[in-house]
Structures are given as C-alpha cells and as structure tokens.
Amino acid sequence: MSPYRIATIDGDGIGPEVCQSATRILSEACGSALLDFVRCDGGAAHYARTGQVLPDDTFALCRDSAAILHGAAGLPGVTYPDGTEVGNDLHLQLRFRLDLYANVRPVRLWQGVKSPLAGWQAGQIDYVIVRENTEGLYASRGGGINLRGEVATDTIVVTRKGVERVARFSFGLSRKRQGAPRDGKRRVTVCDKANILRSYAFFRAVCEEVAREHEDVEIDYAYADAMTVHLVKRPDFYDVIVAENMFGDIISDLGAATIGGMGLSPSAELGEHHGLFQGAHGSAPDIAGQNLASPLATILSGTLMLQWLAERHGDERLAVAGRRIETAVGEVLAHGDAVPRDLGGSASCTEVTEAVLRRMARAPA
C-alpha cells in the first residue's frame, strides 16, 4: 500500500517547532513507510513575503492529500486592511473550501496534571466539544458591513443541512465513547441561546429531530452563558457538547483551561472527505524559535489524525500507532518525565519530544 500523504503546514511562530516534533513522533510510531509528510508554505509570514496566506499549490496539496497537519499561524501586526488577522485566514480558507464542518475538541484531564478546578482528578473530566465549523456567526467572515465607521454588522447563518450533519456527527461520536464520567450515560448537550434568538431556537429544534434517530443517546440542553458555569462546577456531567461556531469557539477554550491549558488541547476539523489537525493554541510568537513551546497539543492532534485515517481506510496499523503515542504521552505526564513550561515545569520542546519517544521505545508496537 502506498504511504498516506500528509500535507504539512508548519506555519508561524512556534508552529515549525511543534509541527516538526509531532511529525517525528508520528513517523516513529507508524514506521517510515506508512506516512509521507509533504511540507508546504502558508501563514502570516508567507503572506508578508508574497501576499498569499494560502498559495494555490498548497491548497491543491491539502485537497489531494490523505490529511492535513498544521502547526500554528499568525503574527502580530500582520493584518488585512480591514484589521482582521491574516494568520487565522489560513485554516479558515481550508475550513470553508474543504467543507470541514465539524470542529472536534477533546477536553480530558490527564493523570499527573493538576486542574485549576480544586479537587478534580484524572478521569473525572473527559468530554468532547463539537463545534459547527462552517456556519454560525463566522459565516459572515469577509462579508460583514462597516458603514462609514459608525455602524458594523455581521450576520449569523444557521441552515438545516449544517445543523443536521453536525448533530448526527455528535450523536455518532457519543455512541463511540463510554459516556459521561459522572454516570456513564451517553449524552449530547446542545449549547445555544434558544431562549433569545430564533437562529438558536432553530439550531435546538433540528438537534431534537436528529436525537429521535438516536434513542440510545440522551439529549441535554444548556444556554451558552450557563454552560460557562457548568463546565467549571460539574464538568463530569458532560460527554459530547454540540454548539454553533462562535459559542463552540468560546467554550472550548474554557474547557481547555480546566484541564491544564491550551497546551493540552488538540483539535480536528473534519468533513466528508478531508481532515485538518492542529493544536488549538496560537502561534505564541513571543517564544518562537527558543525551544520553549510544548508540542503536546500538536502531538495529540496527530493521534486524532491517525484515528480518523484508521476509520476511513480500515487500517488498524494507524489506530495502533495512535494508541501507542497516546499511551506514551500519558506516561510522560503521569510520571513527570518532562514537564513543559505551561504546566509549571521547565522542559523544552525537544526534551518533551525525547521523553515521549523514550516511553514509546519501552512499549513498542
């Protein structure tokens, strides 16, 4: 079988460091013949040099590859004339042009990591936020109105097709999981503002229709403002949370904060035919090039990529490699082999990478 080609965009800031760490570990876990990482240009620095954030040849490679692995994008002061950031536009273009409709953000408290929430232990926080990724308020991207510097408007867009497919994805994901830590129940929580806006009432109504097709999974509801309280006070209640684009963006960062921060927050942006995988953190240009960044979010995004590819292609080798990496990361965190700066330690990007590789070597596939 030919290797799986992975379009790899290092990007800006710490992007090259964490992306190269992840590709090294993925290659070790899978073997040299299974994955083919093809590096390509893109990001804010590339825009500053060429005027293109996503070159045509990079987009073509992303479209035609088995998956996309991305480091990070964005640099201070590199903006479009309307003031929006150039870096974000890289994966936004890929998101919309490749129809990556489901943004998957696992929130898991690992053994050895102290939650900012007092008393919560590993295993008690373990849920997934599924953010509708192509509609909602972000559908106004590039189309909002700024009228003479006096009035600015953006419009939320919610369609039946968009909600149905992300709801079905969420209920299907719950079926693959073990339920909420509190009670073991498979549960999809709809996060909205259905009490205020018709667009969110419609979002909820369509989710309810989809729920009737999944009677083995409980449906639950929470307004977005209340959700910010619940994720702090009772995170063990949640299994899968589905939300409109903007709300999903906000609560997923809150969730990440409860399990140690963005450095442990992987993400997958998935469509029918394409998948993009990246750590949910930013490009952190203040520490770029200093070997200070934690690569764990990007490494864990790589395990999401392997799981997704394994399911799509029926290739158990990929699933085994993904579990091997995840186990090694868990052991590094549990035993404190190399604690990165964002978790209170001093380990460099290289030291964290080497620690994961050592754990993998002790338990080969």
Please list the active-site residues: 138, 193, 225, 249, 253
Contacts (Cβ under 8 Å, ≥6 apart) of 134: 95, 96, 99, 100, 101, 162, 245
Count of CA atoms in the C-beta half-sphere (13 A) of 83: 3
- Sign of CA pseudo-dihedral 283, 285, 290, 292: negative
Question: What are the two backbone dihedrals, phi and then psi, of residue 80, each rounded to the nearest 5 degrees?
Answer: -80, 165
Place of tokens 């998948």: 275
DSSP, residue by residue, 229-259: HHHHH-GGG-SEEEE-HHHHHHHHHHHHHHT
d(C-alpha 314, C-alpha 319), whole Å: 9
Give buried/exposed letters for 97-120 (b at 16+ CB in 10 A, else e). ebebbbbbbbbbbbebbebebeeb
Output the CA–CA distances (angstroms, integers) from residue 164 to 52, 226, 312, in the order listed: 34, 24, 21
Question: By the 8 A CB rule, do 275 and 65 touch?
Answer: no
Can you tell me whether residue 187 is helix, strand or coil? Answer: strand
How many C-beta neighbours within 10 Å does residue 299 have? 27
d(C-alpha 217, C-alpha 224), whole Å: 21
d(C-alpha 192, C-alpha 190), whole Å: 6
Question: By the 8 A CB rule, do 297 and 281 touch?
Answer: yes
Give which of 94, 86, 90 is closest to 62, Cα–Cα.
Answer: 94
In the chain, the amino acid numbered 71 is: G
d(C-alpha 243, C-alpha 103), whole Å: 10
